[in-house]
Structures are given as structure tokens and as C-alpha cells.
């Protein structure tokens, strides 16, 4: 079974955030399509939120607008197959319980979307490979910092 991992789809990456990414609106629309596909197919969805520790940065501080998921995003309560995980490092598997949850859902493959492609998305993909999962990344549903 394939699960959708939505990595750091948070306000901080919007044009009003402290870490805006190019083409944010297009990426958000592509993520929304992937989420709707997963929901219609009843596939598990892991919503991964990055929180910085106090003193690390002004970005992604728990309880701030920047740390909130993009409007309309986040686990739907009561579904049982959408869960939120919080991370404080680049990889979504490290210290979050994501791996155990995917095992319990009998997931063998993950589709990863979100931000930032060259940081948290790629680290999460490598962690998934190390756990024996098949990994796909949707380039239209990922964002990165401008060059």
C-alpha cells in the first residue's frame, strides 16, 4: 500500500512567511490534488509539521502562524488514516513515530510532497529508503528555495 507524506506544508513558505519559496501557490495546488487523490483512494496520509526549538530561529516556532499548516491542510479528524507528526530535524522519521505508524498501516511505498525539496523532502526520502520503502517524489508538489 502507498501512503502520502506531506512534509512541511506550512505558512512559513508562503509569500507572507519568513522563508518564502517560488511558485508557492502552484505547489500548494499540486499538493492539494495529491491529498484529494489519497483521500478518495483511502490511502494513509501523514501530515508532517516542522517545529524549531526556541532559540534556533524565528521560523517554525510552535504556536505561530508560520508553523501552522497552509490553509485547508492538515489531518481530517476521525478518519483514522490521517495523522500528524511533528519533527524538529530534517528527516520526518527521526524521533516522530512515523515509521511505526507506516508499519502499522502496512505501507510499503510512500509518495512524498512538500518543502523543502533539497532539505526535508530529500532527507525523508533517504530515511524511507533505509527502512525498505519504495519512494516517489512529485516534483510539481515540492518546493525549494530560490537559487
Predicted TM-score (pTM) of this structure: 0.96
Q: What contacts 55, CB < 8 A, 6 or more positions away?
A: none
Query: Is the predicted pLDDT of residue 94 greater than 90, yes or no?
Result: yes
Query: Is the predicted pLDDT of residue 79 greater than 90, yes or no?
Result: no
pLDDT at residue 145 in the model = 87
Confidence of residue 47 (pLDDT cuts 50, 70, 90): very high
Cα dihedral 90, 128, 105, 3 sign? positive
95 close to 88: Cβ distance less than 8 angstroms:
yes
Cα dihedral 90, 100, 51, 69 sign? positive
CA 59 – CA 72 distance, rounded (Å): 21
Confidence of residue 3 (pLDDT cuts 50, 70, 90): very high
Cell of 83: 495523522
Query: Is the predicted pLDDT of residue 78 greater than 90, yes or no?
Result: no
% residues pLDDT > 70 (the chain)? 100
Q: What angle do CA 20, 129, 132 make, to 5 degrees?
A: 145
Tell me which DSSP letter residue 121 carries.
Answer: I
Q: What contacts 46, CB < 8 A, 6 or more positions away?
A: 3, 4, 5, 6, 82, 83, 84, 85, 92, 98, 101, 102
Cis bond upstream, residue 118 (ω within 30)? no
CA 77 – CA 91 distance, rounded (Å): 25
Amino acid at each position: 500500500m502507498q501512503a502520502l507524506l506531506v512534509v512541511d506544508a506550512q505558512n512559513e513558505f508562503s509569500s507572507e512567511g519568513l522563508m518564502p519559496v517560488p511558485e508557492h501557490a502552484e505547489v500548494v495546488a499540486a499538493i492539494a490534488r495529491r491529498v484529494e487523490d489519497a483521500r478518495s483512494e483511502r490511502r494513509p496520509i501523514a501530515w508532517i509539521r516542522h517545529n524549531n526549538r526556541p532559540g534556533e530561529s524565528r521560523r517554525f516556532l510552535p504556536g505561530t502562524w508560520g508553523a501552522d499548516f497552509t490553509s485547508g491542510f492538515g489531518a481530517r479528524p476521525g478518519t483514522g488514516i490521517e495523522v500528524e507528526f511533528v519533527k524538529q530535524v530534517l528527516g520526518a522519521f527521526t524521533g516522530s513515530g512515523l515509521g511505526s505508524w507506516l508499519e502499522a498501516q502496512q505501507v510499503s511505498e510512500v509518495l512524498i510532497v512538500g518543502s523543502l525539496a533539497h532539505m526535508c523532502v530529500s532527507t525523508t526520502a533517504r530515511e524511507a529508503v533505509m527502512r525498505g520503502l519504495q519512494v516517489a517524489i512529485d516534483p510539481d508538489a515540492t518546493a525549494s528555495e530560490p537559487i
